[in-house]
Amino acid sequence: MSADQLLAYNGLTVRFGGLVALNALSLEVSRGEILGLIGPNGSGKTTFFNVITGIYRAGEGRAELDGRNLTAMSAQEIYRAGVTRTFQRSRLCLPLSIFDNIMIGNHRRLNHGLAFNLFRREAFRREFERNYEVARDLVKVFSARLAQRLFEPVATFSIIDRRRIEICRALVSEPTLLLLDEPSAGMTHEETRELMDDLLVVRGHMPGLTLVIIEHEMNVIERITERCAVLNYGQKIAEGAYAEVAADRQVQEAYLGTA
């Protein structure tokens, strides 16, 4: 694994009975890169995310994060190693506030001790104030308006604001690798453009952050990624800059459509 590589997969294979969801997949992601992951439905994109985060175990192959063996880690260990994600379908707790939802993503830094929370009230207050400042500053990167409404229920906000909150929840633990699973799902083209603007701003604030994004909106992939990989039937069929991948005949037949 070279010094500029953060994530490396070699020969990754995942089977569900007779279905091969990932077939000897090899892929590398560099530090600070924004990689797009595209392909038709059922091509293995979300399965790849589930393997990275420890939800699924690979039957064959090896995965490394910054030189550490991911395939030997639990989901909790992978999170502590600096990998976080969002999901295509919202996993927010709608009755809870923005602040509460974001703190769910920061649980490894919170003091969960019963004595601390019940009896050390001054220390608890200081921890709350620190976490409030962290959450406010993070949300402000996306929206100053949202940062003023941290204690309002998430259910009262629009789809794009909920996506912003989900991404903040994934970012609050200061990960090195952020996985975004179709962040534009359910949004209009204008909302998608706004959210991509937000992500580029976040990239400016967190230059070391590495992003892998699953998207069906090709204008998003073209605009925000530096490189993309295309999956089909669990195999990587193309990799490179968007213009190169989009011109690939195999990709056109599998995903983009042919004239």
- Looking at the structure of the chain, the number of domains it has is 2
Tell whether 166 and 155 lie within a shared domain.
yes
Interacting residues of 126 by C-beta distance below 8 A, sequence separation 6+: none
Tell whether 158 and 182 lie within a shared domain.
no
Tell whether 75 and 180 lie within a shared domain.
yes
Asked whether the predicted pLDDT for residue 52 surpasses 80, the reply is: yes
**Would you say residue 169 lies in a domain?**
yes
Tell whether 70 and 116 lie within a shared domain.
no
pLDDT at res. 123: 66
Tell whether 26 and 62 lie within a shared domain.
yes
pLDDT tens profile 173-183: 999 999 999 99
**Would you say residue 113 lies in a domain?**
yes
**Would you say residue 223 lies in a domain?**
yes
pLDDT band at residue 108 using 50, 70 and 90 as cut-offs:
low
Biggest alpha carbon distance in the chain? 69
pLDDT tens profile 61-79: 999 998 899 888 999 999 9
What mean pLDDT comes out for the span 90-96? 93
**Would you say residue 200 lies in a domain?**
no
| pTM, rounded to two decimals | 0.90
pLDDT band at residue 12 using 50, 70 and 90 as cut-offs:
very high
Asked whether the predicted pLDDT for residue 90 surpasses 90, the reply is: no
Tell whether 97 and 167 lie within a shared domain.
yes
Distance CA 222, CA 54 (A): 29
Asked whether the predicted pLDDT for residue 256 surpasses 80, the reply is: no
pLDDT at res. 115: 53
pLDDT band at residue 113 using 50, 70 and 90 as cut-offs:
low
**Would you say residue 11 lies in a domain?**
yes
Domain range enclosing 108:
92-174
Bridging pattern class, strands 34-38 and 210-214: parallel
Mean pLDDT rounded to a whole number for the chain: 88
Beginning with the edge strand found earlier in the chain, give each strand of the sheet holding 68-69 in spatial order: 19-30, 5-16, 60-65, 68-69
Tell whether 116 and 145 lie within a shared domain.
yes
Tell whether 233 and 216 lie within a shared domain.
yes
Tell whether 76 and 100 lie within a shared domain.
no
Asked whether the predicted pLDDT for residue 1 surpasses 60, the reply is: no
For residue 226, what is the domain's CATH number? 3.40.50.300
Distance CA 252, CA 259 (A): 9
More confident position, 5 or 47: 47
Tell whether 98 and 78 lie within a shared domain.
no
**Would you say residue 87 lies in a domain?**
no
pLDDT band at residue 22 using 50, 70 and 90 as cut-offs:
very high
pLDDT band at residue 135 using 50, 70 and 90 as cut-offs:
very high
Tell whether 96 and 71 lie within a shared domain.
no
**Would you say residue 127 lies in a domain?**
yes
What mean pLDDT comes out for the span 4-17? 92
**Would you say residue 195 lies in a domain?**
no
Tell whether 119 and 163 lie within a shared domain.
yes
Cα of 53 vs its chain's centroid, Å: 10
Cβ proximity of 39 and 232 under 8 Å? yes
